[in-house]
Structure 1
């Protein structure tokens, strides 16, 4: 792979990876502040960080290919309206599975997903902000 192509690929993937890492760090910090053991907080961080990074990379790729237009917020918000609740659902299920050794969906699943969808708009704003700053600086 040429250095130019590697640089472009890295610039395309970095915002998604950054947003997943930042999301994981916030989840970890909130869990620790909430009084859970550090090992539990680490599970929470990884269980959220990995899906956020994967969805973030997907969003970055779609924006780079023109599927989600740059400069238009609504398509990115719609993407995260679906992706963020799914990432949180993965986090919740994986955390229960690792810490409690049982597969279980969150209680009141529809309410859980609806609340996460509301939060997704703020997450989409942050994602666009991070991505546009990284692309402009590169």
Structure 2
């Protein structure tokens, strides 16, 4: 899901007329941190450290993780494009807004994890048991 978000962000950057190199930076700088965090959350759920199907633990995870991923994205893009390390002008406002957006990300992650992944696992089990 994280890599897909990066591809979408890169595609949108290209769609609005940004150079392809900028779009590629956006794709990797956002997609990789989100993929790493999503994989980590999946491992926590698979090992039983976080309960499956519960919104609160997933929401708390993404309340911290999503703003951090966006901060990495913001800093990385600035570094690659301008050669300068810059934090967002209003860091607290930036992180607060990303925290709000993270709730939607948590809902989507949980929905995909519980609905799509379960169907894929069930299909894989049915295929291997034949």
What TM-score, normalized by structure 1, do the two folds share? Answer: 0.83
Matching residue of 1:120: 102
Deviations 1:62-86 (A, max 9, x none): 1112222112111001100000000
Counterpart of 1:62 (choices 39, 44, 53) is 44
SS in 2 for 1:35: coil
In 1, the alpha carbon distance for the partners of 2:33 and 2:23 equals: 16
Counterpart of 1:134 (choices 105, 117, 121) is 117
Matching residue of 1:94: 76
Q: How many residues are treated as equivalent by the alignment? A: 120
Q: Which has the higher contact order (CA 8 A, sep 6+)?
A: 1
Matching residue of 1:7: none
- Computing the radius of gyration from Cα coordinates, the structure with the larger value is 2
Matching residue of 1:83: 65
In 2, the alpha carbon distance for the partners of 1:130 and 1:45 equals: 21
SS in 1 for 2:84: coil
Runs of 4 or more above 6 Å deviation: none
In 2, the alpha carbon distance for the partners of 1:59 and 1:120 equals: 14
Deviations 1:94-133 (A, max 9, x none): 1111111011111100000000000001101111122122
Question: Which sections of structure 1, spanning at least 5 residues, go unmatched?
Answer: 1-18
Deviation at 1:37, TM superposition (A): 0.8
The yes-or-no answer on 1:42 pairing with 2:44 is: no
In 2, the alpha carbon distance for the partners of 1:34 and 1:104 equals: 23
Deviation at 1:137, TM superposition (A): 2.3
